[in-house]
Structure 1
């Protein structure tokens, strides 16, 4: 799956969050009445119904299209006997976590990302199911793009940065006494980029130029849910917490052969990566009318 398509997934998740909001708010609107006030500006009120109507006007068609697309892809995959291997999904999830996950991201979001990755892979398989790509072309692509299939070791870290060794030792003692790392980072850390996220800096690699080398070196010796003693850095002193480590891996041709096939096929076809091509096959009808447009 290409980087561009991962950004499509990000956009899709944003829309799905709106879906959730509408679902959560819709039922109370019925129970509590359409005139319930959700905001006031001076003497002017904004009702729940006005709010929901505005949400539908802004996001309704796109949200419904995403819901339809999800179901179309699942049904068409079943129709054409397309299945994904667990290894393929886990590989894409690992790459995403290492390269695109955000600081402060909740653990439960991993399952949502996995669902979106499964959707994207199934869609690519559907779009390219009838396209033949030669063995020579696939191997040539692999040899020319080996770097794309080398995933470096990465570390999901949080950090507390303070100015002096004394401050760092004091923070380390509070951690030993049971204080929350995230709470202490928000209270004590002078790193303006991570303090508000409880010190969370997401996944980083040894090649990451924005992270002090001393931080990475210290993290490599940790097990998950462990933290370091104070570490001297150019910014002061750091205490580093390891959430998760992803071991680096170089994928062989056989492991990524089907991924390469899909990528070459999609480039040859030069079509949008969209489930809309299967709406007629899935006999879709919807609130917004015509479904035949690609």
Structure 2
């Protein structure tokens, strides 16, 4: 398995851990059972002569999502307890490095869907702790790690990148009007939703994600303008094929090359996980802490 493939798998596992709860909250959208009988608990909705009580609502939430939500809570606590037991920790420096790598490889971290960056940091920390716990007894030689690094150096080079949004309109006068509204305090995202003619980004507030300095899929003028912007600043009108654009800089990601020592721990985990050839899962660890829960003594596989 190549380093790039394994990296993608590990990132995917982080995403799964991050958004399992969101998945369960988005599926099985049925009708909440209601009753015409008087309820002693608080009424939270009425439809004609029918009421929905807080008790009904909570019971339905537990029926649909309770088991999976509880499992996620248990998993987090199991990882925390075992990390303490084995004296495993994750530094802020490591978390920030992995966050930067995710940004550079996967464009934008969609805050509406995935939560803010603090949530991402929490999930990265959780994922690393879990991997360290699972691989703590796996032996990986220095030579294996150095060979992996030499063969996959491109994984550890982060290009200078810019998190950009844009608003595209047909004329320069319209672009200047956008700038006047921004100067007057209007939201860039709201203006993009209302006025941008770029159908691919308008609905996301004009967000085009992280763009590296050698990106071939955005106008060259964007890459000339972006370095001149400060965080939270917008550009003058930029002529593009479909009209004129106003560019907004959310964040600049400095280019960096990580040394072997910088990423040695990450490489060890990657190789160890590949050797294990198993699923990165918390549930096999439940027995070590004697976990019991509402749905039985241990997790159902």
Q: TM-score range by the shorter chain?
A: 0.7 to 0.9
Q: How far 1:281 sits from its partner (Å)?
A: 1.3
How many aligned residue pairs are there? 283
Q: Which residues of 2 match residues 1-294 of structure 1 at below 5 A?
A: 2-16=7-21, 34=41, 36=43, 38=45, 40=47, 48-100=54-106, 101-103=108-110, 105=112, 109-291=116-298
Deviations 1:161-207 (A, max 9, x none): 00111211222233234333223222221112222333222322235
Normalized against structure 1, the TM-score is what? Answer: 0.85
Change (3 A) 1:181 1:63: same
Show structure 1 runs of 5+ residues with no match. Answer: 22-31
DSSP-derived class of the 1:244 partner? strand
Cα distance in 1, alignment partners of residues 269 and 218 from structure 2: 35
Cα distance in 2, alignment partners of residues 102 and 78 from structure 1: 30
DSSP-derived class of the 1:290 partner? coil
Cα distance in 1, alignment partners of residues 193 and 251 from structure 2: 20
* 8 Å Cα contact 2:25/2:65 also seen in 1: no
Show structure 2 runs of 5+ residues with no match. Answer: 1-5, 27-38
Q: CA RMSD in A?
A: 2.9
Change (3 A) 1:12 1:106: closer
Deviates more, 1:42-51 or 1:177-186: 42-51
